[in-house]
Structures are given as C-alpha cells and as structure tokens.
Amino acid sequence: MTGGDTQILDDGRLVVCGEFVELLRANGLDTFEKIMAHAGGATMRSVPGRSTVRIELHRPEGGALVAFLKRYGPEYLSFGLRLLRFLRWPGARDEARHEWNAIAQLRAAGFGTATPMAIGQQSTCGAVTRSFLLTAEIAGGIAAHDHLRTLDARRRREFALSIAELTRRFHGAGFAHKDYYLSHILVVKSATGGPAHFFIDLQRLIRPRLFRERWRVKDLAALGYSAQCFGATRADLLRFYRACFGRKRLAADDRRLIRKIMARINALHRRGPRYDVIWDQPGVHPPNV
C-alpha cells in the first residue's frame, strides 16, 4: 500500500488510489482483467511474460494523462520462482507489489518517484502469477544520461555533484536500488532552481539490514559503469566518490572500497548488466516509469 485514500475493486484484485478511480472507470479500466488485456499504447519494453506500455488516459473533464503500465504474466515465472513464491520467500515476491511498496517507502523518506495509480494481482495455488502496476508519467522527466548529453564540462561536473548528494542521501536512508544506472534516475528541470531527481524502476529496491556495503558497492558500480558509457573518466569517478562520501583525502578504507567498486565496474564492462536491460546506450531511451 502507498497509504492515503485507496479503493479496493474487482473483489480485491484491484487497488486504486482514490484520485484515479473515476479516471480509470471513464477509460473502461476498472477491473483487473480489463487492465491486463488493455491493447492500446506504445510498447517500451517487452520480454516473455513482462512488458511496459505507455498509455494515454482521457480525463472526463478533458485532456489526457500519460501513464505507464507494467504487466507480469505466468511466462515470466520459472518453476523455481513459483515454488519460492508459494513458500513466501522474501526475494521471490511479486515485482508489481514490491514496486508499489517501494514507491511508498521512497516518497515517505522524501525522495521523488512516480505517482502510483493502481496495482492488481491474481494468485494461483497461493502464489501471485499475474500482476500489474500503473503509475503516472513524471512530467518533464528526462533520463539522467540523456540530460548529461546536453551539458558542457562545467555543468557536467555540477550535475555529477548533485547525483553524488542524491546518492549519499539515498544510501544514508538505508536504501539500495540494485539497478542504479543513470537511466533509472529522471531529471526534471525547474524554472526556479536546479534539476529535481526522481527514481524509477524500483521492482528490486531493498532496505537491507545486513551486508549494506555489498549493496552500496553494487549501486555505485552500476552508476559508475553507466557514467563511463558516456565518457566519465576515472578522475570523474574519483571526484564523485569524494563528494558522495565527503572526503578531502582518501583513507585506507576508502581505497579498499574504491577497489571493490572498480572491480564490479570492470565486470559490467565485460558482461553487461545481468538482470535487466541497460538503457544507457546512445539512441536507446528508457520508459518513464
């Protein structure tokens, strides 16, 4: 749950944030099956059993709201994953529900992310086998790597410092993204101040109590890898590290941590990301979800 006003529809299979109930009804999307079967929109990502679609919903009072619909089907689940879900194994939870909860956690901690609209789930033999998450578009959101392309050298350094501060706060609040690439941070330019940052693709976000350094290294390596895809040098990464950790001089523990981060960055350059599509490539754009 994201908290606040929500309504449960379709015999419990559909949960909708109150402000969007009439909007979904006006577009004929007021049941789990109708949303899962929705045929319109532009496909942003599609693998067997999993897709992300950009759709436009027509407001009853006029105008449109752009939303992103992530759907998960049975083809996405291996036999082993089905079994783990049946056993309520924490790491095998439904991605739609996990992201719904992750959005709530980040928003409660003061971070920007997508506005949740609705979630739906269907279970078979005690395990979720079909689900979806519907979120509103982050208006004006630009993937961080696309934003980076528009900046000169001075503004690139300023932007890197802003991402370092964001990362410091994010990890300081106990979160780990697990897919912390530049493509999963959206930038919204403000007319009155600097850019605001929004986290997206939160289906793997965790708040670990144990092995925090491991997850922090994984996040920093993903970020460093995607930054290097767009020309960041080792000197740039070192400047980022100093800003992120507030270091004027590096201690032995810093050098040890940097070696771990660089080892993972090099591994990503050799094999690429293991769990998800990497959108940080020229000409490839991520879904704004």
How many structural domains does the chain have? Answer: 2
Residue 156 shares a structural domain with residue 120: no
228-268: per-residue pLDDT in tens? 998 888 889 999 999 999 999 999 999 999 999 999 999 99
Residue 110 shares a structural domain with residue 193: no
3-state secondary structure 59-102: CCCCCEEEEEEEEECHHHCCHHHHHHHHCCCHHHCCHHHHHHHH
286 domain residue, yes or no: no
114 domain residue, yes or no: yes
Residue 132 shares a structural domain with residue 147: no
260 domain residue, yes or no: yes
Residues 6 or more apart whose CB falls under 8 angstroms from that of 189 comprise 140, 142, 195
**Backbone phi, then psi, for 34, in 5-degree steps?**
-65, -40
**Overall pTM > 0.75:** yes
83-119: per-residue pLDDT in tens? 666 666 666 678 899 999 999 999 999 999 999 999 9
